Structure 1
């Protein structure tokens, strides 16, 4: 049987770890909120997909038109790096080139960004799913674009789904 001292130490350890975990979670939330508020806006055109999953509830699988271009330009090679994209007047991204290393934003031409990409059989560019409240599926069927915020490392965070007129759904 444990002594009172061992029980107190165990409780203190659990409390300390719990506080640490909560602090880490809240720090991540604050970082992502800042990312949404301050990140560069880029829009990716969506490719058609099946919007439902019986096991996970209502959600839309996201596939992006630019991924086909990335696949064809990569020639089947494995890739960890960046895709350089140029944004048009509507902030919709078009493929420009691959970059092995991150380039300082000041060295890029105007309206160009770097987006992190990983290719291992399939392209991993951004989130591949958008979950929504049950019964809201019809609302999101009109989605034509995903609007993302890009941070300094080229990571994408989904901000909204947009219709053909670039209006938030």
Structure 2
């Protein structure tokens, strides 16, 4: 193979890989946008912690009130499963129990959902653990009392907004 052919082959390979990467990234964006638009709404009560990180800029560490009963219900240190929650009239999740497998929607009441959860070394990983915001907006977001999430068909959570005590978006 001549050096000119090798250069053409390398350029074609880079073009194909770049196009594939762009397709994958855009597919992920489209999927998440549909998730935000069509996912079921559930609100989790927050217990916000440290509002500032020098290395990452302004952010709020998110801790959820529901993690305590999850920790109590799961004696194992490492497991994957689902948290069964009941949504009150304000769509705030209340812990019902822990499920080791995904249940069919017919096994759930109308106001119940399953939320995907992982327990690793006693730490509950339910959704994102941080919310990043524009520098200088810490006081504004310190009023956050709830996280509003969208739940997809697999029980995965995607943070949509932070809400104040009156369930208004911040």
Normalised by the length of structure 1, the TM-score is 0.97
**Match of 2:155?**
154
1: CA distance between counterparts of 2:101 and 2:69? 20
Deviation for aligned residue 1:103? 1.0
Q: Note the 1:54-69 alignment, pairs <5 A.
A: 54-69=54-69
> SS of 1:63's equivalent?
coil
> SS of 1:123's equivalent?
strand
Which of 150-159 and 99-108 deviates more?
Answer: 99-108
Deviation for aligned residue 1:137? 1.0
Q: Note the 1:23-38 alignment, pairs <5 A.
A: 23-38=23-38
Gaps of 5+ in 2: none
**Match of 2:52?**
52
Deviation by residue 1:34-58 (Cα, 9 ceiling, x = unmatched): 0000000000000131111000000
Deviation for aligned residue 1:166? 0.2
**Match of 2:108?**
108
> SS of 1:64's equivalent?
coil
2: CA distance between counterparts of 1:143 and 1:13? 48
RMSD: 1.3
Which of 75-84 and 57-66 deviates more?
Answer: 75-84
Gaps of 5+ in 1: none
> SS of 1:161's equivalent?
strand
Deviation for aligned residue 1:106? 2.7
2: CA distance between counterparts of 1:105 and 1:149? 17
Deviation for aligned residue 1:76? 4.4
**Match of 2:22?**
22
Asked if the contact 2:45–2:146 (Cα under 8 Å) also holds between the matched residues in 1, the reply is yes
Number of corresponding residues: 169
